Chains A and B, each alone.
Chain A
Amino acid sequence: MLEIRNLHATVAGKDILKGLDLTVRAGEVHAIMGPNGSGKSTLAHVLAGREGYAVTQGTVRFEGKNLLELPPEARACEGLFLGFQYPVEIPGVSNLTLLKAALNAQRKHRGAPEIDATDFLVWVRECARVMGIDPKMLSRGVNEGFSGGEKKRNEILQMLVLQPRLAILDETDSGLDIDALKVVAEGINRLRAPQRAFVLVTHYQRLLDYVQPDFVHVLAGGRIVKSGGPELARELEEKGYGWLEAA
Chain B
Amino acid sequence: MATQPEDLRELMRRREYRAGFVTAIESETVPPGLSEDVIRLISANKREPQWLLDFRLKAYRRWLTMEEPKWAHVHYPPIDFQAISYFSRPKSLAQRPKSLDEVDPKLLETYQKLGIPLKEQEMLAGVASPVAVDVVFDSVSVATTFKQKLAEAGVIFCPISEAVQEYPELVKKYLGSVVPFGDNFYAALNSAVFTDGSFVYVPKGVRCPMELSTYFRINERNTGQFERTLIIAEDGAYVSYLEGCTAPQRDENQLHAAVVELVALDDAQIKYSTVQNWYPGDEQGRGGIYNFVTKRGDCRGKRSRISWTQVETGSAITWKYPSCILRGDDSVGEFYSVAVTNNRQQADTGTKMIHVGKNTRSTIVSKGISAGYGQQSYRGLVRVLETAENARNHTRCDSLLIGDRCGAHTFPYTEVRNPTARLEHEATTSKIAEDQLYYCRARGISEEEAVSMIVNGFCKEVFKELPMEFAVEAGKLLAVSLEGAVG
Contact = CB atoms under 8 A, between A and B. Distances in A.
Partners in one complex: yes
A105 B445 contact: yes
A105 B446 contact: yes
A92 B438 contact: no
B453 A87 contact: no
B396 interface: no
A162 B442 CA distance: 12
A164 to B, nearest CB: 10
B385 interface: no
Interface residues of B, number: 25
A84 B3 contact: no
Contact of B439 (A88, A97, A106): A88
A75 B447 CA distance: 14
A5 to B, nearest CB: 23
B164 interface: no
A101 B442 contact: no
Contacts of B165: none
Interface string B1-18: 111000000000000000
A114 B435 CA distance: 27
Given A92-B460, A93-B454, A97-B1, A73 B445 contact: yes
A114 to B, nearest CB: 6
Contacts of A103: 2
Interface string B355-379: 0000000000000000000000000
A79 to B, nearest CB: 10
Nearest to B367: A92
Nearest to A76: B444
Given A73-B446, A100-B2, A101-B2, A93 B439 contact: no
Given A101-B1, A102-B445, A72 B457 contact: no
Interface in B424-483: 430, 433-436, 438-447, 449, 453-454, 456-458, 460
Given A50-B438, A90-B439, A114-B2, A98 B453 contact: yes
A170 to B, nearest CB: 11
- Interface size on A, as a range, is 35 or more
Nearest to A106: B444
A11 to B, nearest CB: 14
B216 to A, nearest CB: 31
Given A93-B453, A105-B2, A71 B441 contact: yes
A103 to B, nearest CB: 8
A119 B436 CA distance: 27
Contacts of A98: 440, 443, 445, 453
A246 B345 CA distance: 61
Contacts of B1: 97, 100-101
A77 B439 contact: no
A145 interface: no
10 closest A-B pairs (Cβ-Cβ)?
A92-B457, A104-B2, A76-B444, A102-B443, A72-B441, A93-B457, A88-B439, A105-B444, A101-B2, A106-B444
Given A81-B442, A162-B443, 12 more contacts: A72-B442, A73-B441, A76-B441, A88-B438, A94-B457, A97-B453, A101-B453, A103-B2, A104-B3, A105-B445, A105-B446, A158-B443
Interface of B: 1-3, 430, 433-436, 438-447, 449, 453-454, 456-458, 460
16 contacts: A48-B442, A49-B441, A50-B442, A76-B441, A77-B444, A88-B439, A90-B440, A91-B430, A92-B457, A92-B460, A93-B456, A98-B443, A101-B1, A101-B453, A106-B444, A141-B457
